[in-house]
Amino acid sequence: MNRLQGKCTLITGGTTGIGLETAKQFLAEGARVAVTGSNPDTLAQAQQELGKEVIVIKSDAGQVGEQKHLAEEIAKVFDKLNAVFLNAGIGIFQPLEAWDEATFDHQIAVNLKGPYFLIQNLLPILANPASIVLNTSINAHIGMPNSSVYGASKAAMISLARTLSGELIERGIRVNAISPGPISTPILGKSGLPAEQVQQIAEAIRNQIPLKRFGAPIEIAKAAVFLASDESSFMLGSEMIIDGGVSTLSWQLS
């Protein structure tokens, strides 16, 4: 299919997991694609995997100053930007008493502050019409223990999908959100927890999913394609929950 034929697109955090798979799906649908990442190794791997036609840019999603630079780099390669998938994010999971200000600020900077200012800096080059897709999380809804700051950052992004929709619609810019449930991505591995503890957490989460499996990145990527395309032109400020049924049950980790 060619649902994104000729559209210029940007995917933040596009070198691994959901972002990388979304880049592949955008390419398959005919889009021109730029991706960002902060790890030199995954940047190089993504360039090799996605091909030379994809623009790969090193950018730290949590640094406000880098968002202006990123927008300037995008403007050099695309006259107008038709779709943006704000996917870059980190997950830090720990009990309330373990948090300090620096860790709190880092979580909020990557998941909320950086994306907010990236949208601001991209405004001059966003086309009319254009689509912004925010990758949020089911954690904003379910009250999972040890996810207080992560869940708050994602709840704020869901709120942005609504408020910015009202603010930007006169510019022809639609904003919608995807809230994935547990997906097989590197996010837990990046948490800094020991491998054995990561495995224990993953198994506990799997047992709470009605479908008894983690979702695949492609299942989120396909939704991102839909929201980026004209097929979703009547969707505004909406949230697509793709969680294997997690939100249908109370969340009680043993």
**From the candidates 89, 137, 150, 240, which is the catalytic residue?**
150
- Compute the distance between CA of residue 98 and CA of residue 159 in angstroms, rounded to an integer: 27
pLDDT (tens digit per residue) in 10-39: 999 999 999 999 999 999 999 999 999 999
Residues 39, 68 contacting (CB under 8 angstroms): no
Average pLDDT over residues 42-54: 98
Quick one: pLDDT at residue 193? 67
Short-list 148, 150, 89, CA closest to 118: 89
Q: What is the pLDDT of residues 200-254, one digit of tens each?
A: 777 878 888 889 899 999 999 999 999 999 999 999 999 999 999 988 865 444 3
Taking Cα atoms as reference points, which of 187, 165, 189 lies closest to residue 175? 165
- Name the more confident of 62 and 190: 62
Mean pLDDT calculated for residue range 171-187 = 90
Question: What is the Cα–Cα distance from 176 to 68, expressed in whole angstroms?
Answer: 22
- What is the rounded CA–CA span in Å between residue 123 and residue 117? 10
Domains located in the chain, CATH noted: 8-241 (3.40.50.720)
Q: For 38-46, which contacts have Cβ atoms below 8 Å and span 24 or more sequence positions?
A: 39/15, 42/15, 42/16, 43/15, 45/15, 46/14, 46/15, 46/16, 46/20
Question: Quick one: tokens of 77?
Answer: 């390669």
Per-residue model confidence as pLDDT tens digits over 108-129: 999 999 999 999 999 999 999 9
- Helix (H) / strand (E) element for 100: namely none
Cα–Cα dist 212/173, whole Å: 37
Paired strand residues for 174: 131
Least confident of 4-8, 14-18, 184-188, 241-245: 184-188
Which tokens belong to 186? Answer: 């590197």
Give me the pLDDT at residue 253, please: 43
Q: Rounded to whole angstroms, how far apart are CA atoms 85 and 221?
A: 10
Respond yes or no: is residue 116 known to be catalytic: no
Q: What is residue 5's three-state secondary structure?
A: coil
Q: What are phi and psi of 4, to 5 degrees?
A: -120, 25
Q: Cβ(175)–Cβ(75) under 8 Å? A: no
The per-residue pLDDT of the chain, averaged, comes to 93
User: Is pLDDT larger for residue 33 or for residue 191?
Assistant: 33
Q: Between 11 and 186, where is the model more confident?
A: 11
pLDDT band for position 143 (50/70/90)? confident
pTM comes to 0.92
- Supply the pLDDT for residue 186: 62
